[in-house]
Amino acid sequence: MKVVVTGLGALCALGENVETLWAAIERGDSGIAPIHRFDVTPFETQLGAMVPLGDEYENEERRLLTYGCKAAAEALRRAAVVDRSQVALALGTCNGSLGKDIHLGSIDIARVLELGGPAITLSTACASSTHAIAFAADLVRRGEVKFVLAGGVDILCQDVFAGFHSLGLLAQKPCAPFSIDMGTTLGEGAAFMLLETEQSAQARGVEPLAELAGYGLSADAFHDTKPEPSGMGMARALAAALQDAGLDPKSIDYFNAHGTGTAANDAAEWRAIQRIFGDHAERLPISSSKSFLGHAQGAAGALEAVVTLLAMAHHVVPPTLHLTEPRPNSPADPVAAPKPRPHVARNAMCANAAFGGANAALVFARNSIETRSRRAEPRSIGLSGVGAVQDWSRLNQSVPLTELRGLDASARLLASAVTTVLVDARLRLRSKDCEEIGLFVGQTHVSPESYQAFGKSIHERGLAHLSAPAFTRMVVNNATGVCCRLFGLKGPTATLATGPDSGLTALVLGANHLAWRADVNRLLAAAVDEPRPSDSYDNAAACILLSAQDPASGAPVRLTAWALAADRETAVAQALARAQRRRAEVSPMIVSGPPASAALRAVAAAADAIRRGDPGPFLICDRGEGTASAAVILEAGSRR
């Protein structure tokens, strides 16, 4: 089933809509300029790519909501979607409203735009909106929803600017990816695309802009902020995206790179491209939209995808601006020009990398891809290991103490839960057994411990000299990235939130990924709860190891069905229908506990009951208090 793009919306430093954005790119205009919204005099650079209308709002929450709503509304309008009750939301954001629950932005955007579908929030730092587009495609392809608004939004505030400054990553001149002038320029903005099936677009009489042909995700498992130097992590995401699209690397006609302008990132990305594309890399046009837009953080991937689709529609490739002299280990053709050049791209790729070692890649196609063969039936999913923890005492016995220094409470809790599950599954920790395992985590906010440390650093040292390590932990996916590094998990990785019971949403998305794709065979679904002073719950984390099974192998515990919907009753009804069960035939399993991990703790309890001889089936659903509702059914593995 083909997933197509039927509407685009954008808001950035180059304009308030898609037309003004593209007109600026055609003129060769850059959105990078001196920052006036907040005080940048303490810093070595004063440049940013700011949205002009953002200066009208003193409140950062209002600014974030306005950006997101304007771009999302434009995508809806261009796609000619009338019935918004059937529209879901997949929002990617790095920071949201800094320090607050990451899913609150999704609540506000869905409310203002009157969207009736489920909403999920992806927060994988600077790859967030790329992840959002990827998961949105799965929701459409699997029939969970009819339409999805997929994209991202982030604003640039003084604290974030100061944090990147502390890492020494900001350029004193406008960002010039692949050039000898190194460093990045931060930006902000929002971008969305409307995704639906090809059949849906045809029935509505809407002409698709392109097909979202495939995506790939991976983890570096290398460092909290630096990419794996050989590019192997990014290469795995590129390979998975091409495999998902059913395309040979030589069929890609344009590559919109992450291209931050920093020495480590640009070199690692080029090595990844060389690994996957071979000799074709020398002929492939590779440019970076960040030279126009700055680095829009969690919105970067969606904005760059919009630029890519517009370039494909106009039969050009956008240039890399500001490039003076190419540096070593950079693309052979970075499209160094002041304006776009003519070029027909039938198929194009976008890629993004992020703190925590998260990589994501998308493939867009404007020609019909008839040779791709997708799985006709989902693979059976078994539960190979379960675990729930409330402290990290066991972690000290499994991971060298030197590697635990500097970890916040969320990272320690999640790592302890992962340790428990890997031991339960009889897998050797930190071995090749772990390398192909993915990790999807439900987490609602940045570690309160790290948030407090970041604030203390600013108070004691000032913005211009704040602690760089403290800033690197100010992303929601920090704990996820730490676990990938500690245990060598290099499969698909994502961090997401739907509010309470986010862990069960991670389980559902993980099951979807495993059941239908060939790039991973085992995946950890987890959740972590580290309370803030105002919260009334205790520390907790839970984790489940999902394994794709041969139906004849008879896994002891089987995930019979799963569903994601806008409300709990719909999710339960869909799960029961897929399991071919009546409500009276299933036993509800409810375990109280902290919000994000409570439902996963119930899954673990149901799995333990099945192992003890109770065949089930067990129904686990969330409490219906988040932006989406999930439901799963577990039973003994003998039933066909």
Considering the domain architecture, whether residues 437 and 546 belong to the same structural domain is answered as yes
Question: Which pLDDT does position 531 carry in this prediction?
Answer: 96
Considering the domain architecture, whether residues 359 and 385 belong to the same structural domain is answered as no
Q: If you average pLDDT over every residue of the chain, what do you get?
A: 94
- Nearest CA to 437 among 530, 503, 513, 334? 513
Question: Which pLDDT does position 552 carry in this prediction?
Answer: 42
What are the structure tokens assigned to 437, written together?
A: 């395992």
Considering the domain architecture, whether residues 433 and 298 belong to the same structural domain is answered as no
- Is residue 373 assigned to a domain? no
Considering the domain architecture, whether residues 433 and 319 belong to the same structural domain is answered as no
Going by the DSSP 8-state scheme, the letter that residue 72 receives in this structure is: H
Residues 317, 334: Cα–Cα separation, whole Å: 10
Beta bridge partners of 89: 119, 149
Is the pLDDT assigned to residue 212 strictly greater than 60?
yes
By CB neighbour count within 10 A (0-12 exposed, 13-18 middle, 19+ buried), where does 423 fall? middle
Q: What is the mean pLDDT of residues 404-419?
A: 93
| CA angle at 268 for the pair 267 and 269, rounded to the nearest 5° | 90
Residues 272, 212: Cα–Cα separation, whole Å: 22
Give the domain-ending residue among 339, 365, 391.
365
Considering the domain architecture, whether residues 558 and 451 belong to the same structural domain is answered as yes
Residues 515, 533: Cα–Cα separation, whole Å: 40
Q: Which residues are identified as catalytic? A: 126, 258, 295
Instruction: Compute the residue count for the chain.
Output: 640
Considering the domain architecture, whether residues 558 and 599 belong to the same structural domain is answered as yes
- Model confidence at 429, in pLDDT bands (50, 70, 90)? confident
Q: Which of 176-190, 267-281, 420-434 has the lowest mean pLDDT?
A: 420-434
Q: What is the mean pLDDT of residues 47-61?
A: 90
Question: Which pLDDT does position 401 carry in this prediction?
Answer: 75
- Is residue 370 assigned to a domain? no
- Model confidence at 314, in pLDDT bands (50, 70, 90)? very high
CA 148 to chain centroid? 15
Residues 448, 441: Cα–Cα separation, whole Å: 17
Considering the domain architecture, whether residues 350 and 395 belong to the same structural domain is answered as no
How many domains, the chain? 2
Is the pLDDT assigned to residue 553 strictly greater than 70?
no
Considering the domain architecture, whether residues 292 and 247 belong to the same structural domain is answered as yes
List the CATH number of the domain containing 427: 3.40.47.10
- Is residue 376 assigned to a domain? no
- Is residue 374 assigned to a domain? no
3-state secondary structure of 545: strand
Residues 624, 426: Cα–Cα separation, whole Å: 35
Give the domain-ending residue among 365, 400, 415.
365
User: Contact, 604 vs 620, CB < 8 A?
Assistant: no
- Is residue 371 assigned to a domain? no
- Is residue 316 assigned to a domain? yes
Structural domain containing residue 244: 3-365
Residues 113, 75: Cα–Cα separation, whole Å: 12
- Is residue 128 assigned to a domain? yes
Residue 537 belongs to what H/E stretch? none
Give the domain-ending residue among 315, 335, 365.
365
Q: What is the mean pLDDT of residues 381-399?
A: 87
Pairing of strands 119-122, 493-497: antiparallel
Question: Which pLDDT does position 24 carry in this prediction?
Answer: 98
Considering the domain architecture, whether residues 164 and 57 belong to the same structural domain is answered as yes
- Model confidence at 368, in pLDDT bands (50, 70, 90)? low
Up-side HSE of residue 268: CA atoms within 13 Å toward CB?
27
- Model confidence at 137, in pLDDT bands (50, 70, 90)? very high
Considering the domain architecture, whether residues 291 and 440 belong to the same structural domain is answered as no
How many other C-beta atoms are found inside a 10 Å radius of the C-beta of residue 440?
Answer: 29
Considering the domain architecture, whether residues 209 and 324 belong to the same structural domain is answered as yes
Query: pLDDT for 85-127, tens place per residue?
Result: 999 999 999 998 888 999 999 999 999 999 999 999 999 999 9
- Is residue 631 assigned to a domain? yes
Considering the domain architecture, whether residues 265 and 236 belong to the same structural domain is answered as yes
Is the pLDDT assigned to residue 372 strictly greater than 70?
no
Beta bridge partners of 523: 438, 546
List C-alpha distances in Å: 101 to 65, 209, 625. Answer: 14, 34, 14
User: Contact, 443 vs 502, CB < 8 A?
Assistant: yes
Q: What is the mean pLDDT of residues 574-601?
A: 94
